[in-house]
Amino acid sequence: MRAVVQAGYGDPADVLAVRAVPTPAVGDDEVRVRVRAASVHPDVWHVVTGLPWVLRLMGSGVRRPTPPIPGTDLAGEVESVGARVTRFRPGDEVFGETITGMQWRNGAAYAEYVTVAQDALAEKPAKVTFAQAATVPTAGLITWQNLPDLGLRGAGQRVLVNGAGGGVGAMAIQLARSSGAHVTAVDHTRKLDLLRTLGADRVVDHTTDDITDRDGEFDLVFDVVGNRPFAAYRRVLATGGIYVLIGHDHFGTHGRRWLGSIPRMFGLMARSTVDRRLPRPPFAAPDRRESMGRFHGLLADGTLDPVVDRTFPLDQVPDALALLAAGRALGRIVITP
Ligand SMILES: NC(=O)c1ccc[n+]([C@@H]2O[C@H](COP(=O)([O-])OP(=O)(O)OC[C@H]3O[C@@H](n4cnc5c(N)ncnc54)[C@H](OP(=O)(O)O)[C@@H]3O)[C@@H](O)[C@H]2O)c1
């Protein structure tokens, strides 16, 4: 089969090439999927470039990544199933994520075929395309794990999503709106129409307006970009309001080269034991099968309606990663092998 193979860490244009590789054998609990779409997201960029350096010690691979094929989130058709697979059969249309646990690892999805544990897949709802479905798993899990249950906090919660035009922010807007929240979405000028399409009640252009220059407006600040310290948001939090940092290294330009935004995340975690505005971070990973089932439901009922900007063939993965890092995409970027 054809696959994108990564020779080492570095500039995507230097380290990635399409090669002929053996089609992966299917294990007893696995499904082999003919990949129709695989999404491009910041964690793929991190593993291809090897930044921050610490990811190499966290399971990605010290000298070069293992496996050597990037990509984690996919949608496609079941081609064959292992002996113990009961939930799927050849021809089923599915979507899912090839890795579990640590996010900074290659998952071999940028290929014509990939094998996936059956519990990491769900049926693709007929109303969404392969490309749309492939954008959901990683961004969905990050959002679902970190977005507080707004329903428990009462109707009309005022939510601020900073960095709302990316994969996680877009998902946060749609999930918060479905809980009845009033959503203010912040991103670059060129993304404001996208934010409105996603359902934001109010949009703010971060190039002209400082969102932290207000008093007590928000019950939740969901900060994907983390371009300001927590202290800058204290003023905009209403009484009882909470601040959630997702953490974005801005493709190596903002985080530390060795440790990225990890020190900052640990600092907030430590503070969350004494500051009620910082929720305790979720330590347990969500159950994969249950999460995928939930995403199936949210796509099927239209709560999530992912916006895809562009698709690229396998041999243009470096261009796709460059577009992601440049921040020019209006919606998600998808590889179509
Ligand atoms: N906390 C966790 O559990 C966890 C787990 C895994 C991964 N992550 C991290 O979560 C992040 C996921 O983000 P994503 O997929 O949503 O990234 P993304 O698609 O790059 O989106 C980030 C958005 O923020 C915008 N932005 C940049 N600077 C801004 C500013 N100053 N003010 C407002 N908006 C700004 C970007 O616009 P431009 O494109 O125009 O710059 C972009 O639209 C990744 O960094 C990933 O590593 C977190």
pLDDT number for residue 96: 98
The residue with greater pLDDT, 90 or 57, is: 90
Atom of ligand 1 nearest to the CA of 225: 24
Q: Give dist(CA 161, CA 183) in Å, integer.
A: 7
Query: In sequence order, what are the beta bridge partners of 33?
Result: 78, 114
Using pLDDT thresholds of 50, 70 and 90, give the confidence band for residue 56.
Answer: very high
Task: Give the contacts of 231 (CB within 8 A, at least 6 positions apart).
Answer: none
Task: Give the contacts of 14 (CB within 8 A, at least 6 positions apart).
Answer: none
Summarize the confidence of residues 271-299 as an average pLDDT. Answer: 90
Q: Is the pLDDT of residue 153 over 90?
A: no
Summarize the confidence of residues 57-67 as an average pLDDT. Answer: 91
Percent of the residues in the chain that have a pLDDT greater than 90, as a whole number: 83
Q: Is the pLDDT of residue 262 over 90?
A: no
Closest CA to 12 of 51, 57, 61: 51
Q: Is the pLDDT of residue 259 over 80?
A: yes
pLDDT number for residue 38: 98
Using pLDDT thresholds of 50, 70 and 90, give the confidence band for residue 252.
Answer: confident
Q: Give dist(CA 145, CA 137) in Å, integer.
A: 12
Q: What is the DSSP letter of 90?
A: T
For ligand 1, pick from 198, 224, 249, 307 the residue to mutate: most ligand atoms within 8 Å of CB: 224
Q: Give dist(CA 136, CA 332) in Å, integer.
A: 10
CA of 224 to the centre of ligand 1 (A): 5
276: helix, strand or coil: coil
Under 8 Å between Cβ of 109 and 44: no
Total-model pTM:
0.95
Using pLDDT thresholds of 50, 70 and 90, give the confidence band for residue 18.
Answer: very high
Using pLDDT thresholds of 50, 70 and 90, give the confidence band for residue 256.
Answer: confident
Closest CA to 138 of 6, 29, 248, 42: 42
| Among 83-92, 107-116, 176-185, 275-284, the least confident range | 275-284
pLDDT number for residue 154: 77
CA of 134 to the centre of ligand 1 (A): 18
Which contiguous run of DSSP H or E holds residue 94?
strand 93-97
Cβ count within 10 A of residue 215: 8
The residue with greater pLDDT, 204 or 252, is: 204
C-alpha distance from residue 139 to each of 73, 153, 295 (Å): 9, 23, 11
Q: Alpha helix (H) ranges present in 101-237?
A: 130-134, 137-146, 167-178, 192-198, 230-234
pLDDT number for residue 27: 97
Which residue ranges have their beta carbon within 6 Å of ligand 1?
A: 41-43, 103, 139, 142, 146, 162-163, 165-169, 186-188, 191, 206, 224-225, 227, 246-249, 327
Summarize the confidence of residues 266-284 as an average pLDDT. Answer: 87
Using pLDDT thresholds of 50, 70 and 90, give the confidence band for residue 261.
Answer: confident
For ligand 1, pick from 168, 171, 186, 192 the residue to mutate: most ligand atoms within 8 Å of CB: 168
Cβ count within 10 A of residue 290: 10
Q: What is the mean pLDDT of the chain?
A: 94
Query: What are the structure tokens assigned to 165, written together?
Result: 């035009």
pLDDT number for residue 214: 87
Q: Is the pLDDT of residue 283 over 80?
A: no
pLDDT number for residue 86: 96
Residue 127 Rama label (left phi>0; alpha psi -120 to 50; beta): alpha
Summarize the confidence of residues 108-137 as an average pLDDT. Answer: 98
In this predicted model, what pLDDT tens digit does every residue of 182-238 receive, in sequence order? 999 999 999 999 999 999 999 999 999 999 998 899 999 999 999 999 999 999 999
Summarize the confidence of residues 74-79 as an average pLDDT. Answer: 98
